[in-house]
Structure 1
């Protein structure tokens, strides 16, 4: 092909289009000297229009705001199986079950299979797009009332059998860009799968901490009710002995009944949290009680936490990698749209036999064939193709900005969880002191009331304050665990739980294999790790043909 092409720096000038058109017009002149050599050279000299993807540069802070706190460690790797820091075998077991049975994670795994199949479709489009056999057996009758019927045969048969093929050459890289886009999209689904595991592990741990928190709340409430019942017995005894009025007994009973009334809503919330955990485990409600063995305490961990540095989020967080790969997908599709601006070169051919009689169907002379090159070039498209490129460019820019926004939100989530974790620990110290003081206050008020030195209102107040203090302490301890879970989720920990495991269960794979020929896509091997995912090879550097996925 003579003259410049739009590939070198994508110089979209009219001279490029005139040179391409001139080459297309002169194509028939060189067919006799070697049609195959010409068109293979045309294809191999082709390049890929459109931009090669370059990841946008997001704004990354140098270090965390709270990095100077002694409890924050910025050196070392974030724990891959971070839930083990709670040293709770029950939680470990729940997360392992959820990783293999959670239904949304299975859906994410199935989307990987779908994307792999779509990549196979894109690769297959690089080969001859039309390859089909054809045949027909017809009996024809022409109307006898047509004009100019002299020597016209009104009834005749027609038999044909043949094969035809058509191959649009990937001169402008349209198909290679489409493969590039499909490869990036498949990588994004892998990152989505890992992100589903990150969310799952965090949600299982958070729900488990919630269940344990409600159990502690119920224990606190029942223990306070026991203490209040003792106060009621004292007040009732003093009233019967004439030492006090009935008011003291009434106040004591009011406080006791009010405390007991709090138990039912807590039990309701506890059961709802268990139902949520059942769903996360892929089980019907009511099936997790047997799994919640062990002591009923709020999960606790070390006061120190390894958070690494902000730049590591780009490698660890699957949602950031997914956003980057989706931007790569949209970038490659710009090239697909731009290729429509230029002519499409095609090789086509048809061969077969044709006869009006079965007796001469395979006789010499019944063979026919048609072959040659062709091109199509949409010229008067009234801006449709150009605006399609512009629309695709806007989609890419949206994806690039979304990627940058995802990075910023990830940093904010880490900072929010980190400050919450640290300040909840500080608050827990004061809450613990408040509980100790409240317990002492209850003991003293009961003693002084028994001795007649105080009225019962002081007892009521001290018991009410103790209950509030103990609930506040439990809530703060729960916040420490919840913030730590949120922090590890924000750091991108948890997707490693799926390492080395199939993305969908073997039983489901067998069911799919019985229903459909999945070829080499089943068994579904584990996907690459999130930190190994990278945008696919740019179309301009990719091979013209790749091995098809049969």
Structure 2
């Protein structure tokens, strides 16, 4: 027993020192981060916590309800949540290899064999004796592979990192879902407003055709002018179904995003509502914030950590492995009619294995793990560059849309002034009715362009928050910050 205890004590000490093993591989450093954005406006850095529920700044109860429904019922999110549970279970599987395994065993049976042939007294012959033996054993057996060089710990670390990566896919799905719901909703309200403006413009065009026909009957207009107005009106009316189709398609998409059949939201969203009057402010975060906020970057970083741990575990395959085993229980044996014999039994053992020849399998696995680490490290750098591009483009799109919206506001104001002037001239008899109708049509066209620009500006804000990874927050980081 004493030699076995010495082996056990030494193995335990070595197992506790696994963190100092040379098989551990440090992950590559994080990619270089620029200090500032090129396209962002100069403004103070805002609180990252504002990214969590950015859509509420639109102050639109309908949008809030759609997002709540999407977060609760979207099938993509439910699938991602199931994958997170699966990955968490696999972490437990990997960590279980760090501990001994204990199993219960039991066995029993009856055995017959020809033992001997003996003469029977008082007779002229012999008798065949076939004794039977009943045997029953049972007890517990334990096995423990000591993690001398950290292989099992590294495998558990790899599984934990992979689970974190899967969790980030859930966050990424949530970020994308929120952006899709908000974008489709804003576009729906924009299209509905455009449709209302378009119908008003059609009414003006019909009035203009009516006036031209009256002028033609009075000899004040020619047939070509009437025919041209009829063609213009029919072309405009042909565009109306396309706007209605766009609105219905957007409602279908919102229904699917909220986990419902395509027609589920038709009654709720068919009625036209204006675009939100308020909007979230422009997010002002440093490029370094992407590393802790964007789920795709966090996922890529988790893949790097998992690959580094897997490489260390692969290297540990070159080193010896020590296995301890123990079993104990109770055994009983009964032969023929004799009383049964019973006793307790136990066994202790240890085994040491080390690779000698495997035709290059282990070193090839190490080379493959090393190549995998290079792959995920390159993907991490690429993902970060794409994230920077995404944010820069989102800033650029928002600035462009905002500038266009500002100019179209001026154009709308000018068109409104032209309409008023035309009506004033007509009321004084210094202008004709067709000029009034043309001024009304021009104002409606300017208003339509303004609605498009306003919609694009709001959608670009959504894209900005999506580019920053808005829509979730790591509560662990928040606790540390507090």
Q: Quick check: 173-182 or 427-436, which moved more?
A: 427-436
- 3-state DSSP class of the match of 1:262? helix
Report what 1:61 is aligned to. Answer: 34
Are the structure 2 counterparts of residues 293 and 357 from structure 1 closer, same or farther at C-alpha, using a change threshold of 3 Å? farther
Report whether the alignment pairs 1:74 with 2:50.
no
Q: Structure 1, residues 65-84: CA drift from partner, whole Å, max 9, x if none? A: 134x35x4434446232112
Partner of 2:318, secondary structure, is coil
Q: Is structure 2 residue 461 aligned with structure 1 residue 529?
A: no
- Which residue is equivalent to 2:341? 363
- 2:212 aligned residue: 235
The corresponding residue for 2:57 is 85
Deviation at 1:291, TM superposition (A): 4.4
2:465 to 485, 488, 492: 488
Q: Tell me the TM-score normalised to structure 1 length.
A: 0.74
Distance 1:156 1:376, change over 3 A: farther
- Would the aligned equivalents of 1:194 and 1:318 in 2 still touch at CA under 8 Å? yes
Change in 2 beyond 3 A, CA 1:209/1:170: same
Residue 400 in structure 1 maps to residue 377 in structure 2? yes
Q: CA deviation at 1:382?
A: 1.6
| 3-state secondary structure, aligned to 1:161 | strand
Gaps spanning 5+ residues in structure 1: where? 1-31, 143-151, 497-527, 535-550
| Residue equivalent to 1:17 | none
Aligned counterpart, 2:450:
473
Q: Closer, same or farther in 2 for the Cα pair 1:191/1:205, shift >3 Å?
A: same
Query: Which has the higher mean CA deviation after the structures are superposed, 76-85 or 172-181?
Result: 76-85
The answer as to 2:81 corresponding to 1:104 is no
**Distance between the aligned counterparts of 2:255 and 2:129, measured in 1?**
79
2-side partners of 1:99 and 1:489: how far apart?
16
TM-score normalized by the length of structure 2: 0.83
RMSD of aligned alpha carbons: 3.5
| Distance (Å, rounded) in 1 between the aligned partners of 2:173 and 2:258 | 14
Partner SS state of residue 341, structure 2: coil
Matched residues in 1 for 2:379 and 2:476: separation?
Answer: 19
* Residue aligning to 2:121: none
Q: Whole-Å Cα distance in 1 between the matches of residues 248 and 179 of structure 2? A: 20
Q: Name 2:124's counterpart in structure 1.
A: none
Change (3 A) 1:248 1:45: same
Quote the offset at 1:167 in angstroms. Answer: 1.7
> What CA distance in whole angstroms lies between the structure 1 residues aligned with 2:336 and 2:312?
51
2:172 pairs with 1:195? yes
Equivalent residue, structure 1, for 2:117? none
Larger radius of gyration: 2
Partner of 2:118: none
Specify the alignment match of 2:296 in structure 1: 319
SS in 1 for 2:135: strand
2:3 maps to: 34
> Using the alignment, how far apart are the partners of 1:192 and 1:334 within structure 2?
23
The number of equivalent residue pairs is 457
| Pairwise CA distance, 1:156 | 6.1
Is the counterpart of residue 389 in structure 1 residue 358 in structure 2?
A: no
Q: Confirm whether residue 159 of structure 1 aligns to residue 135 of structure 2.
A: yes
Q: CA deviation at 1:441?
A: 6.5
1:271 aligned residue (248, 253, 260): 248
Residue 5 of structure 1 is matched in structure 2 by none
Structure 1 residues 175 and 108, CA gap change in structure 2 (3 angstroms): same
